[in-house]
Structure 1
Amino acid sequence: MTDAQIFAQLHKLTPADAVAYLQKRGQLAVTYGWQDLWHEEHARQFTISRLTRADLLSSLQEMITKSVDGNLGRRDFERDAQKLLTDAGWWGTKEVIDPATGEILKTRFDAQRLKLIFDTNTRNAYAAGQWERAQRTKFTHPYGRIISKDDGRVRPEHRAWHNITLPLDHVFWLTHWCPNGWKCRCRIVLVSKAEYERGLTPTGAPMKKDAPDIIWRDWLNRRTGEVQRVPAGIDPGFGYNAGRAREAALQRLVQNKLTTLDAPLGAALWQSVQAELAATQLAECQAMVARVSSDKRANGQMLLVHTVDAQTQQALAAQGVRLDNAAVLLRDTEVMHALRDSKVARGAAVPENVLADLPNHLPGAAVYLDTVNNTLVYAMSLPGQVGKVVVRVNYSEKGRLGAERMKITANHVATAGIIQASDLLAARYVRMK
């Protein structure tokens, strides 16, 4: 049995799901540092740092896919890859020129490098495939449990995560779905409802049913100069769920597209993809709010949390307000403002769980046009009170969409808080929906 097949068996996963993940990575990318592709970009693109020939990238990708499919073992891959690179003059040390800087960079292909390439790609493929499988079976097995190695080589943080057992929809899995670093040997097993209720693992050890606090640290990406936030215990570049990467990438694509389409077309586009992307949209919003709440910091991350529907657009047009596009974006900067301590202390803050679930709350909210400030006010019915989300229309805001910083004109959430229902009866508020 090959190493790839052994790894698949450990995860109780047929290679087909992993192969499908590798085949989805249809784009080849020439990069000059492993930092050049970040998180979900790996779901769409295959790269090997500083390997600048597309034909060699394509051949190596095909070999890895065959290995995961069971047609090659790691030794076969290493043998064939070494011959390929030797024949092409790429075995050993090679110099390449970074076109962005003109700098001469050195790269080395040897047996150790091939082993790392093979292990990293196959383990990510199986992790992505397992996530796909988990979504198909979560009616009977709705939980995941981390199993770490119990030896002297395991990272302390990974040992602490051993037996953490959480619902598959928990935001923890957005950043902690194994592998969580280079050469990480942790894995995840799916847990049934009955097993979870018993609360014991097959070894008799108790399950840890509470998610640990995620501590974020600054990490400087020396390729881009950008300071990024990375969860403690996770190597930079691994703090994402490879299985959700395709949906996250599609979410980014739709998000970008919505900001360029006329509002009616944008609303129609979202309606056509909502069923596929709603869960990802909600999970990303929950993750952002959780990060800001624990970290007390913002980096300008922007997310699509709502799309103004056709009915509201028509009512706005009747009031002389025409939207440039239908996208409603939320920045973590505004989340931090909404959750600030002074606002919470005087009871004026929207509960954190409501902010985290905005993609669920906004579609059913009553919508008003504030004719004084030319903003939209979404009024949400909450237990014992009314929550409001104020949205600037046709407003330009700077922030991050994925890894890219840009200025986007859309409809941006300005603030959120509590409002008296009677206040909405004032003449300045005109009901849109």
Structure 2
Amino acid sequence: MADEIELEPLAPQEAIDAFRRKGHAITFSWQDMERDEHSRDFTVAKVASLDILADIRAAMDAAIAEGTTLREFERQLTPLLQEKGWWGRDVMTDPLTGEAREVQLGSPRRLQIIYDTNLRMSYAAGRWERIEGVAAARPWLRYVAILDDRTRDQHRDWHNTVLRWDDPWWDQHAPPNGWNCRCTVQQLGDRDLERMGLSPSSPPSSPPRTWVNNRTGEVRQVPGGVDPGFDYNVGRANMAHMLDVATGKLDLTDDDLARATIQAMVAGRSFSSFLRSPGTGAGHPVATGAVRVGGTRPTVVLPAETVRRQAADGTLPQAADWMRVQAMIDAGQASAQGNVRHITLEGEPYVMEVERGEDGRIKVTSLRRVGS
């Protein structure tokens, strides 16, 4: 049962914030939303009313923030959902096919799944934010499985796997790794490994399987031992969502305040983490635009794909170089689409390539020191 969850009595603030940042989405099937979309929106499949969705969300918020048990969650929601008609089996029209189908609405089993999944994913998102915050001092993550008769064989095999926090294996294997998965990670430093008699591992391998989303037609390879829909790092997706929200606010912020905020962001630990593990999302702010468009001044972003590409070919600049992008923008060196400019700042020659995206923001597609 989900009320046996082995978690802290009260969620860390990061987990609460991760849940509260979400919007709402109406879906018919769990397959209607992609993996990282769950970091942006709260949904319950086959809830067609925002009113009912808001009721379930409010109860889930209390469960995360106040430590409400599954029993209390069910006691609060069951009569409310029954009164509003979202209970038992009913006929609904699938908006994708137009077909009338008999479906399961509210039930004790469904409430348990809603409670368990949202609680674990929120904790995982909050935990990852903490992981990146102290990764310099404690760079190792240990995979921890609950070793009982309910544990998946694959997850049992991964128990005590020790990898760096930025190892690509965590992109698809950071727990939870499936419905009712109770696995978690423990963050460790070098001395912790020595004290516990552990040593770094090689990334475990398990044959992937082909999975077809029969709602969207998407075909992808899902790692063995991971349920479809859980094959992503919810913490990194949550942090990408945080960046996207922050970037939208910066578009509307006073010029001087936006500059100061972005410079502080680029100088901080979160940007260093982004350079090592860019994740998903629109990118990280690195400067403010030189020209306002209407009431906004589009923020200049460093896309994740730029980081991955330049890291792969060994040309990714350090954070100190990205601090200089604002000066390049202010000098008028990157204001039109498709710019490739040669810029010298304080005697250092650079080549910066930018493009303007459909959202109006300038994206840095390459930044290199000449001769490096």
Match of 2:162 in 1: 165
Inter-CA distance 126–417: structure 2 relative to 1 (3 Å threshold): closer
Kept in 2: contact 1:308–1:328 (CA 8 A) = yes
Match of 1:236 in 2: 228
How many Å separate the matches in 2 of 1:35 and 1:281?
Answer: 33
Kept in 2: contact 1:387–1:416 (CA 8 A) = no
CA deviations 1:129-181 (Å, max 9, x no partner) are 43455567768755431112445654454334321234445555454332121
How many Å separate the matches in 1 of 2:212 and 2:96?
Answer: 19
Higher strand share: 1
Kept in 2: contact 1:392–1:414 (CA 8 A) = yes
Kept in 2: contact 1:375–1:391 (CA 8 A) = yes
2:323 to 347, 363, 382: 363
Match of 1:347 in 2: none
1:327 to 281, 300, 320: 300
> Counterpart of 1:238 in 2: which secondary structure?
coil
Give, in angstroms, the shift of residue 116 of structure 1.
Answer: 1.5
Inter-CA distance 74–102: structure 2 relative to 1 (3 Å threshold): same
Quick one: percent identity of the two aligned structures? 28
Inter-CA distance 215–377: structure 2 relative to 1 (3 Å threshold): farther
How many Å separate the matches in 2 of 1:270 and 1:138?
Answer: 27
> Counterpart of 2:193 in 1: which secondary structure?
helix
The one-letter amino acid of 2:117's match is: T
Kept in 2: contact 1:28–1:47 (CA 8 A) = yes
Match of 2:47 in 1: 51
1:272 to 261, 264, 288: 261
| 1:248 aligns to 2:240 (yes or no) | yes
How many Å separate the matches in 1 of 2:365 and 2:131?
Answer: 37
Q: Give me the TM-score of the superposition, normalised by structure 2.
A: 0.70
Give, in angstroms, the shift of residue 250 of structure 1.
Answer: 2.5
> Counterpart of 2:45 in 1: which secondary structure?
coil
Match of 2:32 in 1: 36
Which sits farther off after the overlay, 86-95 or 213-222?
213-222
Larger Cα-atom Rg: 1
RMSD of aligned Cα (Å): 4.7
Which sits farther off after the overlay, 181-190 or 157-166?
157-166
Inter-CA distance 274–101: structure 2 relative to 1 (3 Å threshold): farther
The one-letter amino acid of 2:182's match is: R
The one-letter amino acid of 1:185's match is: R
Give, in angstroms, the shift of residue 375 of structure 1.
Answer: 0.8
Kept in 1: contact 2:26–2:48 (CA 8 A) = yes
CA deviations 1:267-322 (Å, max 9, x no partner) are 96364155457655554554469xxxxxxxxxxx8753563568xx69xxxxxxxx
Kept in 2: contact 1:331–1:413 (CA 8 A) = no
How many Å separate the matches in 2 of 1:411 and 1:182?
Answer: 40
Inter-CA distance 214–273: structure 2 relative to 1 (3 Å threshold): farther
Q: Give me the TM-score of the superposition, normalised by structure 1.
A: 0.62
Which stretches in structure 2 are left out of the alignment for 5+ residues?
A: 292-296
Match of 1:117 in 2: 114
1:180 to 174, 177, 180: 177
2:69 to 59, 69, 73: 73
Kept in 2: contact 1:391–1:413 (CA 8 A) = yes
Kept in 2: contact 1:144–1:166 (CA 8 A) = yes
Kept in 2: contact 1:180–1:238 (CA 8 A) = yes
Kept in 1: contact 2:16–2:64 (CA 8 A) = no
How many Å separate the matches in 2 of 1:417 and 1:137?
Answer: 29
Matches within 5 A, 1:273-352: 273=262, 275=264, 279-280=269-270, 283=273, 286-287=276-277, 303-304=282-283, 307-308=286-287, 327-330=300-303, 332=305, 350-351=313-314
CA deviations 1:166-207 (Å, max 9, x no partner) are 44455554543321211212122233442123451xxxxx34
| 1:391 aligns to 2:364 (yes or no) | no
| 1:130 aligns to 2:90 (yes or no) | no
Inter-CA distance 229–287: structure 2 relative to 1 (3 Å threshold): farther
Match of 2:341 in 1: 376
How many Å separate the matches in 2 of 1:250 and 1:22?
Answer: 9
CA deviations 1:4-28 (Å, max 9, x no partner) are 4x53xx4456335477247615633
Give, in angstroms, the shift of residue 49 of structure 1.
Answer: 0.7
Kept in 1: contact 2:342–2:351 (CA 8 A) = yes
Matches within 5 A, 1:101-112: 102-108=98-104, 109-112=106-109
Kept in 1: contact 2:29–2:45 (CA 8 A) = yes
How many Å separate the matches in 1 of 2:205 and 2:283?
Answer: 25
